[in-house]
Amino acid sequence: MNNRMKLWSRSQTFFICLLAAGFTPGVLLSPGLTHSVADSLQVRYRAAIQEAAFVEPEKAVDTLIPITAANPFLVWNPTRTQVLVVTWKSQRVYEQFIKPNIQSSKREDQLLWVTVAPQVKAFCQRYLQQHPNATAAELTLRLKQYLGLDPTWEYDQFVELWVHPQDLFRPCVNPDITQRQCPLNFTGVVPTVTGHTQGTGIQDYQSFYQTLYFRSIRAALQPWTGLGYTYDWGSPISHVGASEFILVPGATYAVKQAVPTLQYCQTASL
């Protein structure tokens, strides 16, 4: 049994018991959701957590977005030294933790997860085109599903950040952001992550990855795939969501803008 499979096997009983008991994080009810609707969504969300936690070869994809200079999909600053990434937060979190700072937290339990622009914008614009009568609450729910987020958590601001590519890594067995797929297990030399920001990096990446996995299923209880993409628990066709990345703890960033969800999705230009 490979290292990754061992992680899943040791933890399956633990989190399945939590799910069966109906455990969910203590959060406020998101605006636009009644208790009956929220309960139904939580059932689907807990099922997604269980499904995402089982690593299987058929869940791996080779369509992850690579961060390379040759990728025309990405948005670069004028000097092409920083790439534009996006995180979705509540206004309170943005105002308190992101706006006043120029660096992500150095704590490995306070990671800043991002996607690259304009993937999420393109997704929500397609959704609005296909559902022209969708309400803001419906759009917000669909985005939570696409990004593998709890339906009761509050998100209302898309925050765009300029970051150096070397200050990003992919949260999977191989953290290399230039690749299009993630392997299923560690083989050979364990990778290291060295950030562009002075003094940042992850030396023991395998230990970090294992801790990240256990924290995801034991504390936050999110449907984390570990395969480089968010788990879309709202699509009946494919559970492959957005390509996801994490800022190296302590990485520097510059805020480009913070935009309310609906406005962000309705605006064509970046």
Domain segments of the chain as ranges? 3-266
pTM above the 0.95 mark?
no
> Position 195: which residue type?
G
Task: Please tell me the predicted confidence (pLDDT) of residue 215.
Answer: 73
pLDDT digits (tens, 9 = 90+) for 94-125: 999 999 999 999 998 899 999 999 999 999 99
Residue 15 clears pLDDT 50, i.e. is over it = no
Q: Which two tokens stand for residue 11?
A: 């933890």
- pLDDT at res. 220: 52
